[in-house]
A and B are shown apart, each in its own frame.
Chain A
Amino acid sequence: MNKSFDPEHIKNLAAGFVVDDLTPEEAQEFRLLLDEHPELIAEVDDLQEVLRQVLDGFTEVEAPAHLLPKILQQAENSTTQATVVKQMPLRWRRIAGSVAALFVVLLGVDYYRLRQNLSIVTAENQRLHQDFAQAQAVKNLLQNSQTRLFTFESVSSTNNSSGSIVINPEQQKAVMVFQNLPAPPPGHVYFLWTIVKNEKLPCGEVKPYSWGNASLELPFTPQMYQEFSHPQFSGLIVTLETNPNVSRPTGTVVMQSSQI
């Protein structure tokens, strides 16, 4: 029997497709089968339903209620931006050749300036909001007796960047605050490491909403807290890396904590 027409083989391919473990050759074969035999879609649908049931049975949480409004808001924003970009050329084509073109252009320039000003004010407002939120987060952390603070400084004498990390195990939160830290060169990222038993363990990318004087919340886990409170913890370093998925430091050390 031709393998492609063997029902067991087809079911096996459908299952592999649903759990996404087909080899490229199997995937190609299954795509062709789907095109030739649309009735296979029902088999895939059934298997998808089983997979959904399995995950449903393992899941003991509901998605947070505030998540949908957040997603819809962002979706709406992205649509508005796309509409503005799409409509601009059309508008300019319509006024081209018109006697009133110059007047409209002048109005357009004025409108553009207003929009520019508005976007600057909006960005500044957003930055202040973020600053305020981070300041509140730091304040809340500092008010807690479990909080620990680490400071670090630039290793280069020509660079006066410095920073601190405030962590709280109860809230499972860590905030990193730094001063005068320039944006990394293109294609580079800053990466934070803990040093435990002389081994450097990755904490994550230093990625604030702006560079210079800013802060960021670290994705902090109990394991990371264990590293910070480990008896053989000897400090922190920030390195400049080219690969954001790096597992051990390969770039130059930019900052190091005062405990080193």
Chain B
Amino acid sequence: MEHKLSQSNSINLSSATDEALFVALKNGDSAALSVLFNRHGRLVYGLALKILADSQEAEDLTQEIFLTLWRKASSNPDCRFFVRYLVTVTRSRAIDKLRARTRQLKLVEKWGHTMTNEAAPEPTPVEQASFAERSGRIHDALAQLPEKQRQVIELAYNQGLSQSEIAQKIDIPLGTVKTCTRQGLLKLKRILLDSDLSIYE
């Protein structure tokens, strides 16, 4: 397949900010889509897989989201805050798909079964080490949060539950879930950004 940009431009794009890439995307530059996928594809696919627990469906959803980015870049102002946009859209579409598929099944029960049976490719030793490193850093940071804040963040982003499902599961009001999520994120910011383990390394 022939893409619009030369290799040198692709190299320039690879160091561009998300916002610059989004501008390139608006101009129909497919190399920007490629760089965005390399940068955020794992986040979208990983989150979709967490929620849907089905590698084929997670692939389809990832494809759908990046193609929507491509097709609607010029009319989608939400993309200015890219990570937020990708996480929001992935979570909401995955949760919608899951509800449509298994409305009457027990979500948590399903979660336990399918994640262990998921036929995702085996990670390489290097990938395993990288997962362990990333995971360790986040778990250390999460461990410093108050219990409820840690719980809601794990349930929302590690188990893919919606806020109302979290409220039901740990039996707290929806407003408290929102407060805990926001306060948890702000505390994590302090821990991660202010620590020696700079996230911009």
B47 contacts A59, C-beta separation under 8 Å: yes
Give the docked Cα–Cα distance between A61 and B50 (Å). Answer: 10
Residues of B within 8 A of A64 (CB): 45, 55, 59, 121
Q: Is the CB of A74 within 8 A of B50?
A: no
**A67→B192 CA distance, assembly (Å):** 31
Q: DSSP majority for the A interface?
A: helix
Contact B104 A201 (CB under 8 A): yes
Query: Is the CB of B44 closer than 8 A to any CB of chain A?
Result: yes
Do A59 and B43 have beta carbons less than 8 Å apart? yes
A-contacting residues, B18-75, CB 8 Å? 28, 30, 33-34, 37-38, 41-47, 49-50, 53-57, 59, 62-63, 66-67, 70-71
Q: Report whether B62 and A21 are in contact in the complex, using a CB–CB cutoff of 8 Å.
A: no
A110 located at the interface, meaning its Cβ lies under 8 Å from any Cβ of chain B in the complex: no
A62 touches B42 (CB 8 A): yes
Inter-chain contacts of A62 with B (CB < 8 A): 42, 45, 123, 127
Q: Which residues of A contact B47 (CB under 8 A)?
A: 55, 59
> Is there an interface contact between A63 and B44, defined as CB atoms closer than 8 Å?
yes
Q: Which of A31-48 contact B (CB under 8 A)?
A: 44-48
Q: Would A70 and B63 count as touching, CB distance under 8 A? A: yes
A153 to chain B, nearest CB (A): 25
A77 to chain B, nearest CB (A): 10
| Contacting residue for B28 out of A51, A79, A247, CB 8 A | A79
Bound-complex Cα distance A155 to B185 (A): 55
A106 at the interface (CB under 8 A from B): no
In the complex, what's the smallest C-beta–C-beta distance from A57 to chain B, in angstroms?
3
Chain B residue numbers with a CB within 8 Å of A19 are 156, 181-182, 185
With A and B bound together, what is the CA distance between A62 and B183 in angstroms?
A: 29
A19 to B153, CA, bound (A): 10
A226 CB to nearest B CB, Å: 8
Q: Which residue of B lies closest to A70 (CB)?
A: B63
| Bound-state Cα–Cα, A53 to B116, Å | 24
Instruction: Please state if B59 and A75 are interface contacts (CB–CB under 8 Å).
Output: no
Q: Please tell me if the beta carbons of B43 and A56 are within 8 angstroms of each other in the complex.
A: yes
Check if A75 sits within 8 Å of B70, measured CB to CB: yes
Q: Digitize B167-189: 1 where CB-to-A-CB distance is under 8 Å, 0 elsewhere.
A: 00000000000100111011011
Q: Does A223 contact B (CB under 8 A)?
A: yes
- Write the nearest CB–CB distance from A185 to chain B, whole angstroms: 21
- CB contact list, A109-153 vs B, under 8 A: none
Query: Chain B's nearest CB lies how many Å from the CB of A60?
Result: 5
Whole-angstrom CA separation of A20 from B113 in the bound complex: 29
Does A69 belong to the interface (CB within 8 Å)?
A: yes
A52 to chain B, nearest CB (A): 5
Say whether A60 contacts B131, CB under 8 Å: yes
* Inter-chain contact A20/B84, CB cutoff 8 Å: yes
Instruction: Decide if B99 touches A67 in the complex (CB within 8 Å).
Output: no
Q: How far is B194's CA from A50's CA once the two chains are assembled, in angstroms?
A: 11
Known pairs A21-B163, A72-B30; A55 contacts B43 (CB<8 A) = yes
Least distance between A66 CB and chain B CB atoms (Å): 9
Residues A59 and B63 in contact, CB atoms below 8 Å apart: no
The interface residues of chain B lying within 8 Å CB-to-CB of A60 are 46, 123, 131, 135
Q: How far is the CA of A17 from the CA of B186 in the complex (A)?
A: 12
Does the CB pair A68–B117 fall under 8 Å? no
Tell me whether A72 and B103 are in contact (CB under 8 A): no
Choice from B82, B104, B138, B139 contacting A247 with Cβ under 8 Å:
B104
State the A residues within 8 Å of B (CB): 11-12, 15-21, 44-64, 67-76, 78-79, 172, 199, 201-202, 204, 219, 221-223, 244-245, 247-248
